[in-house]
Amino acid sequence: MTAVNSPAAPSSQVGPVGQSFAERLNGPWHERSLQVFMGIVLAHWGEHLAQAYQVYVLHWPMANARGVLGLWFPWLVTSEALHYGYALVMLVGLWILRGGFVGSSHTWWMVAFWIQFWHHIEHALLQGQVIVGQNLFGSPVPTSLAQLVIPRLELHLIYNTIVFIPMVIAMYRHLVPPEAERVRMGCTCAGHPRLAAA
Amino acid sequence: MFGLAVAAFAVHMSGAGAHPHEMAAHRGAPSRIIASQRIGPYVASVWTDPEVGSGPMYVVLEAADGQTFTPPSAVRVGIAPVSGRLPEVVHDAHAEPVRRGARFMTTVAFDRAERWTLRVLIGGSAGGGQLTSQVEATPNVAAGPFVLVLSLLPFLAVTGVWWRAAVVRRRTVALP
């Protein structure tokens, strides 16, 4: 992880001509890509918000409080597929959109990525125990490492929070960058490059 | 790296023997409340994650020294509040596939955060007996209503960042 990303395309070269898909995602399409990605992230938080509302405001039993999607597709919640799929989407999104960030925003974005990477390792550990048929620490169920340290808290919320915080800082530094970073950006997230550099 | 990630996801989606509870990655890990106690021809350990509402209860059995392992015919788990406000409820535990010994699982209901008496009853042709312990049931979301606030913060944070960016962008565009 480096604090300074590889130089993005100069402002005058922003455009789809001759760019690979990854370059476009981190150049002219970066703003829209980040919006979509943030939409997915907020939709996930929305599920947790709905679940918390069901429990603490509507006083539904915990077993019935399955958020919004879980009301129609209960298996999404109970099978863990939703959690794991989201963790994977987060990991991929953080990785493929990293190139558009420069300077300090890149640093914060990569902090979020590496935390999410560890989160994914935890899931892989669980998967491995199921596949091998042998659980860690003599436990009757597959156990992740963080579950040993924080045995009773909502680890899922904790993980998503500690990934989200550096993400938001990165987004802020990316959308409102110092001038020295703005001129190195190859995307339109902080305004049109030519106007911003004027 | 992403090849591995995709492979792991494919394995997950294929099932790979994953039981819904086994893959409850974000639930607290069960803790051992009875460790390697001799009961008849068995050495038994009991694991649980006693959340208010419901809690899994695992009874893990191995052969005692010098004994041949013969699975018990029935394992039952009885729970009752220590306060005595409710009568004991006995649950039949079902066997789960394991490579060595035997593991029985049931889900018990804790309707209130308080101390509960636990009885494990093991019976079979090879012998059996009873184990007793106590366990404290705790709220299943330790953070409580804080979760509601926590889940709201991302929306506030993103709104704040978006608003600040919009203001700065407007100023930038307005520059002569």
Identify which of A12, A41, A4, A5 has the alpha carbon closest to the alpha carbon of residue A28.
Answer: A12
- Give the max Cα distance, chain B: 92
pLDDT recorded at residue B142:
53
- Read off the pLDDT of each residue in A49-78 and give the average, rounded to a whole number: 79
CB A155 within 8 A of CB A141: no
Out of A62, A85, A139, whose CB is closest to B47? Answer: A139
pLDDT recorded at residue B140:
61
User: How do the pLDDT tens digits run along chain B, 176 residues long?
Assistant: 445 444 444 444 443 333 333 344 455 668 888 999 999 999 999 998 887 877 889 999 999 988 889 999 999 999 999 999 999 999 999 999 888 899 999 999 988 889 999 999 999 988 889 999 999 988 765 566 777 788 888 999 999 999 988 888 787 766 65
- Read off the pLDDT of each residue in A38-59 and give the average, rounded to a whole number: 86
How is residue A149 written in tokens?
Answer: 């340290």
Out of B11, B151, B161, whose CB is closest to A127? Answer: B11
Pick among B26, B48, B62, B148 to test the A interface (most A CBs inside 10 A) = B26
Mean pLDDT taken over chain B? 81
Min CA distance, B78 vs chain A (Å)? Answer: 19
For residue A40, report the phi and psi dihedrals to the nearest 5 degrees: -65, -45
Q: Which residues on A lie below 8 Å from B161 (Cβ)? A: 168, 171-172, 175-176
Print the SS3 string covering chain A. CCCCCCCCCCHHHCCCCCCCHHHHHCCCCHHHHHHHHHHHHHHHHHHHHHHHHHHHCCCCCCCCCCCCHHHHCHHHHHCCHHHHHHHHHHHHHHHHCHHHCCHHHHHHHHHHHHHHHHHHHHHHHHHHHHHHCCCHHHCCCCCCHHHHHCCCCCHHHHHHHHHHHHHHHHHHHHHCCCHHHHCCCCCCCCCCHHHHHC
Are residues A164 and B154, on separate chains, in Cβ contact within 8 Å? yes
- C-alpha B54/C-alpha A123 separation (Å) is 24
Say whether the ipTM exceeds 0.90.
Answer: no
How is residue A84 written in tokens?
Answer: 């794991």
Out of A124, A130, A148, whose CB is closest to B23? Answer: A130
Please give the residue of chain B at the shortest CA–CA distance from A82. Answer: B13
pLDDT recorded at residue B6:
47
Min CA distance, B64 vs chain A (Å)? Answer: 17
pLDDT recorded at residue B5:
45
